[in-house]
Amino acid sequence: MDDTATLRQRIAPTSKQAASNDKDPSEELSHGVYPPFKLPRYTMKDLLGAVPAHCFERSAVRSLYYVARDAAMIAGLAFAASWVEAAFGAGGLVKDSTMLKWGCWSVYWMVQGVVFLGVLILGHECGHGAFSTSKRLNNHVGLVLHSFCLVPYYSWKISHARHHAATGHMTREEVFVSASRSEKLGAEGKSPPKSVEVDGEWLDELLEDAPMYRLGKVVLQQLLGWPAYLLTNVTSQPSYPPGTNHFNPDSALFEPRHRTLIHISNAGLLTMVGLLTLLGRYVGFAGVVKFYFVPYLIMNHWFVLITYLQHTDPMLPHYRGGEWTFARGTLCTIDRSVLGFVGTFFLHHISNTHVAHHVSSKIPHYHAAEATVALKAFLGDDYTSTSENVYLSLWRNLRFVEDEGEVLFYKDAYGRTSRKVKLEDSPSDSGVEVD
């Protein structure tokens, strides 16, 4: 066997059933895992009417309480961590304590990173107007909270609003845009950009089933995916020109009327960088890394993990223009209950009430659970949720959607789709992807 054939054998996808009976793996559809999908028929009036009226009420006092609570946790954790070196470092109170020292730092990093994300989520509510009824208070608090997390407030507020305006739309969705078959595998059998052909198949496509290769991609996405999105607009629509980012007032993301707001966002970030520099004069560069930047990376991980899985689960549809409506777009997300206390207390229900958040982004997090119960009862089988472990969901190899069709679901390397559309529930038999 030559070298290329050996490489292909090692990294190409396999199928136990195909190996045993020589059936085409593409026939092994996984429809049994998920119920058939039927097109939602709701209007926004229907969805909003299902939510109790008091769930839309916003309280500045209550929202500020959560800001104060998270700020107190951050300060308390940092104060506790300031004693780690004294207790377990060189010349500390406990001898032979290197493992204890790094164990304590690891606990601090994990917990503080989650609390950081809670702060960003509260800032995210400011951007949506869910924090209070005062636009001025929302913007002032949001600017401070976002800047603390090194996220440009107005810049992301603008692009994130577009995400909510066109969720699940193949050509208008702002983030986590689904790759099409031709984008993923190359049009007409031609190699995708930066691919290498090995024995008739593309090396990057084959390697995606190699665990270490996939693990490397997952790690990069989880730690650097968020700053990469802000800096380069990665995972957004390919129609944006090169150089599009969230910091340039002249970026294609913004309109001329946004210029002053983008400058204010950038000024907020520079102020935070200045404060971190000042902190470095007291605790040193290593101290800034330990106290702030490692939790910042943990925050990035949780933020990308949650937002990525909210809109890329195999159960969720992706629409082209013919079948997309705003009401259908609001349901192109999934609630995840697996985070438990971490999700409800530290992360302010961001994961287990995301359907309600898309139905109305002005519902504050402290009413979101009740709104979710009401929506779940109203939607029935059209409500999408899961208790699957988030890391198992992340490990799934979501490949692409088809180039044609109006209602699309992710497919794997064999072209198998996770869900099929019930044609009898579709307005027409044309343009709807079925298997």
Burial 108-146 (b: 16+ CB within 10 A, else e): bbebbbbbbbbbbbbbbbbbbbbbbeeeeebbebbbbbb
427: left (phi over 0), alpha (psi -120 to 50) or beta: alpha
Q: Say if CB 390 and CB 307 are below 8 A apart.
A: no
| Size (the chain), residues | 435
Whether 340 maps to a domain, the answer reads yes
Average pLDDT value for residue range 90-115: 86
Whether 216 maps to a domain, the answer reads yes
C-alpha 41/C-alpha 424 separation (Å) is: 13
Average pLDDT value for residue range 176-195: 63
The whole domain housing 341 covers: 28-425
pLDDT reported for residue 429: 38
Instruction: Share the mean pLDDT of the chain.
Output: 83
**In sequence order, what are the residues at sequence separation of 6 or more whose Cβ sits closer than 8 angstroms to the Cβ of residue 107?**
none
pTM value is: 0.85
Structure tokens at 136: 């001025």
Average pLDDT value for residue range 207-233: 81
Say if residue 81's pLDDT is above 80. Answer: yes
pLDDT reported for residue 403: 82
Closest C-alpha to 225, from 158, 147, 159, 303? 303
Task: Tally Cβ neighbours within 10 Å of residue 298.
Answer: 21
Whether 4 maps to a domain, the answer reads no
Task: Tally Cβ neighbours within 10 Å of residue 272.
Answer: 18
pLDDT reported for residue 89: 67
Whether 17 maps to a domain, the answer reads no
C-alpha 99/C-alpha 44 separation (Å) is: 55
DSSP H stretches of helix in 208-249? 211-232
**H or E, element range at 335:** strand 335-336
Q: Which residue has the higher pLDDT, 216 or 43?
A: 43
- Give per-residue pLDDT as tens, 222-269: 888 899 999 999 989 989 999 999 999 999 999 999 999 999 999 999
- Give per-residue pLDDT as tens, 14-25: 333 333 334 433
Structure tokens at 155: 């810049």
Phi/psi of residue 330, each to 5°? Answer: -65, -25
pLDDT reported for residue 62: 98
Whether 72 maps to a domain, the answer reads yes
**In sequence order, what are the residues at sequence separation of 6 or more whose Cβ sits closer than 8 angstroms to the Cβ of residue 114?**
298, 299, 302, 342, 346, 347
pLDDT band at 198 (very low <50, low <70, confident <90, very high): very low
Whether 431 maps to a domain, the answer reads no
Under DSSP, the state recorded for 191 is P
- Give per-residue pLDDT as tens, 356-396: 999 999 999 999 999 999 999 999 989 999 888 888 888 77
pLDDT band at 3 (very low <50, low <70, confident <90, very high): very low
C-alpha 73/C-alpha 361 separation (Å) is: 26
Beta strands in 173-317, from DSSP E residues, in sequence order: 197-198, 201-202
Q: Cα dihedral angle (9, 13, 17, 23), rounded to 10 degrees? A: -90
Domain count within the chain: 1
pLDDT band at 189 (very low <50, low <70, confident <90, very high): very low
pLDDT band at 422 (very low <50, low <70, confident <90, very high): low
Whether 14 maps to a domain, the answer reads no
Average pLDDT value for residue range 193-218: 59
**CB-based burial label for 20 (10 Å; 0-12, 13-18, 19+):** exposed
Whether 342 maps to a domain, the answer reads yes
